[in-house]
């Protein structure tokens, strides 16, 4: 081989190495975003409609309430229901509009309506080290520390594990005036249950809420709550969403799974949490991650 040919060969090999290194770097840079997930909220177009009207909502997916980065597709829905004081009906009108899931349902009877969506679980196969990073990135270091003390976390360097995650969203809509439904359960694996009527809240009030995990009160669970002013740009103004997120408060449930949230301002409010538990043996996963949100509106006095 000539000297010029050898030089060209070396340059070609170096180019392949550099391209491969760039691909690896891009994958590593994107690994954090792959590890993190987003909350899923139900945000009504209107929190009060007249009997005979229509309940319309957006399913929003992002880390900044109430904006949405991408739409959940209808095939991921396990259950979408509207529950009143006396009825429970499946939502049939489900579609996608832009980056939002859209749901609509006729508001036939007067009274308080709970709307809930349960999304199908998804599996992620990852290393024990990646699972630990996931716990920290998603704001669950207390769960990691607790499971580490209890000797339940997979050993670093051991076999890969399966993390299964699912999401559940809930909101409240008033249809005229009628029977209350706020304490009814939607039977989500993880669910917020208000102990007082969210629709009656005003600035200065306190909302007591119970978190139920797999049918039992979730004790010592960490929650986040916050609000954003209502308005035509609330769903799309990410700068406002970032400012609002910076004011979020952190709460912890007591021995009865109850936390108290002080309502400090009017607007769109959300409460959210994720709970991580060992999966049942033989279920096809090692760990279950349950995400839950509740959205309600607070009017000015």
Three-state SS letters, 109-120: CCEEEEEEEEEC
pLDDT bracket for residue 68 (50, 70, 90): very high
pLDDT at 36: 52
Q: Is the predicted pLDDT of residue 233 greater than 80, yes or no?
A: yes
Q: Return the percentage of the chain with pLDDT > 90, whole number.
A: 77
With cut-offs at 50, 70 and 90, classify the pLDDT of residue 281: very high
pTM: 0.86
Residue closest to 92 by CA, chosen among 149, 82, 84, 83: 82
User: pLDDT per residue over 235-272, tens digit each?
Assistant: 999 999 999 999 999 999 999 999 999 999 999 999 99
- Cβ atoms of residues 72 and 120 within 8 Å: no
- Asked if residues 3 and 19 have their Cβ atoms less than 8 Å apart, the reply is no
Distance CA 152, CA 149 (A): 8
Residue carrying the six token digits 């594990």: 161
Burial track 226-261 (b if 16+ CB lie within 10 A, e otherwise): bbbeeeeebbebeebbeebeeebeebebeeebbbeb
Does 29 or 111 have the greater pLDDT score?
111
Q: Please answer whether residues 235 and 210 qualify as being in contact, where contact means their C-beta atoms are separated by less than 8 angstroms.
A: no
Closest CA to 119 of 47, 56, 59, 62: 59
Q: Which residues, other chains included, contact 138 with Cβ-Cβ below 8 Å and sequence gap of 6+?
A: 36, 37, 274, 289
Cβ–Cβ < 8 Å for 153, 210: no
What is the domain partition of the chain in residue ranges?
32-298
pLDDT in tens, 1-55: 554 454 445 555 455 544 443 333 333 333 333 345 699 999 999 999 999 999 9
Those residues whose C-beta lies under 8 Å from the C-beta of residue 61, and which sit 6 or more positions away, are 38, 39, 40, 41, 68, 69, 70, 71, 72, 99, 101
């Amino acid at each position: 081989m000539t000297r010029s040919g050898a030089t060209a060969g070396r340059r070609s090999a170096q180019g392949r190495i550099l391209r491969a290194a760039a691909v690896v770097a891009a994958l590593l840079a994107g690994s954090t975003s792959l590890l993190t997930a987003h909350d899923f909220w139900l945000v009504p177009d209107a929190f009060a409609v007249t009997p005979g009207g229509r309940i319309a909502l957006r399913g929003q997916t992002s880390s900044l309430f109430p904006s949405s980065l991408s739409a959940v597709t209808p095939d991921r829905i396990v259950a979408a229901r509207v529950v009143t004081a006396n009825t429970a009906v499946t939502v049939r009108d489900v579609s996608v509009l832009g980056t939002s899931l859209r749901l609509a349902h006729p508001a036939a009877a007067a009274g308080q309506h709970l709307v809930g969506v349960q999304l199908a679980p998804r599996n992620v196969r990852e290393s024990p080290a990646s699972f630990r990073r996931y716990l920290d990135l998603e704001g669950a270091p207390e769960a990691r520390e607790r499971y580490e003390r209890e000797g339940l976390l997979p050993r670093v360097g051991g076999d890969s594990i399966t993390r299964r995650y699912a999401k559940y969203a809930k909101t409240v809509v008033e249809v005229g005036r009628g029977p209350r439904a706020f304490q009814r359960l939607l039977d989500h694996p993880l669910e917020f249950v208000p102990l007082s009527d969210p629709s009656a809240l005003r600035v200065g009030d306190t909302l007591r809420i119970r978190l139920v995990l797999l049918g039992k009160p979730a004790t010592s669970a960490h929650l986040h709550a916050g609000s954003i002013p209502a308005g035509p740009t609330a769903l799309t103004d990410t700068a406002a969403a970032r400012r609002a997120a910076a004011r979020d408060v952190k709460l912890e449930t007591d021995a009865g799974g109850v936390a108290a949230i002080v309502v400090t301002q009017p607007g769109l409010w959300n409460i959210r949490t994720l709970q991580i538990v060992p999966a049942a043996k033989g279920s096809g996963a090692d760990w279950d991650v349950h995400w839950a949100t509740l959205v309600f509106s607070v009017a000015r006095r």
